[in-house]
Amino acid sequence: QVQLVESGGGLVQAGGSLRLSCVVSETVFSRSAMGWYRQAPGSQRELVAVITTNDITNYIDSVKGRFTIARDDAKHTVYLEMDRLKPEDTAVYYCNTPYEDINSWGQGTQVTVSS
């Protein structure tokens, strides 16, 4: 079974920073682009950032310039560095494979940004 274990969330004031981590089963990580998703209360889950196996990155407009996605192949871990956080970034954050359905989700990590 594929494992996705997110961590690093917390409560932070607006303007602050957090770094999320997601450890992924090695067999999946080595072959797949990885993405960070988020789901706010009452909203659908949205894909926030993607990084390919060749380290090509892409972001939704609302986080460009503030969030940075990175991957460590040796640790089969994907990171999301989040700076200048805003209250609208409050959500549960998940990692997953955006271009491959692995039929599995982790528990997510809660990010709460206070104003």
Average the pLDDT over 74-103 and give the result: 96
Q: Per-residue confidence at 50, pLDDT binned at 50, 70, 90? A: very high
Question: Looking at the predicted structure, is the pLDDT value of residue 3 above 90?
Answer: yes
Summarize the confidence of residues 22-37 as an average pLDDT.
Answer: 94
CA distance 54 to 94: 21
Q: What percent of the chain has pLDDT over 70?
A: 100
The pLDDT tens digits of the residues spanning 59-80 come to 999 999 999 999 999 999 999 9
**Torsion sign across C-alpha atoms 37, 41, 109, 4:** negative
**Cα gap 80→102, rounded to integer Å:** 21
pLDDT at 9 over 90: yes
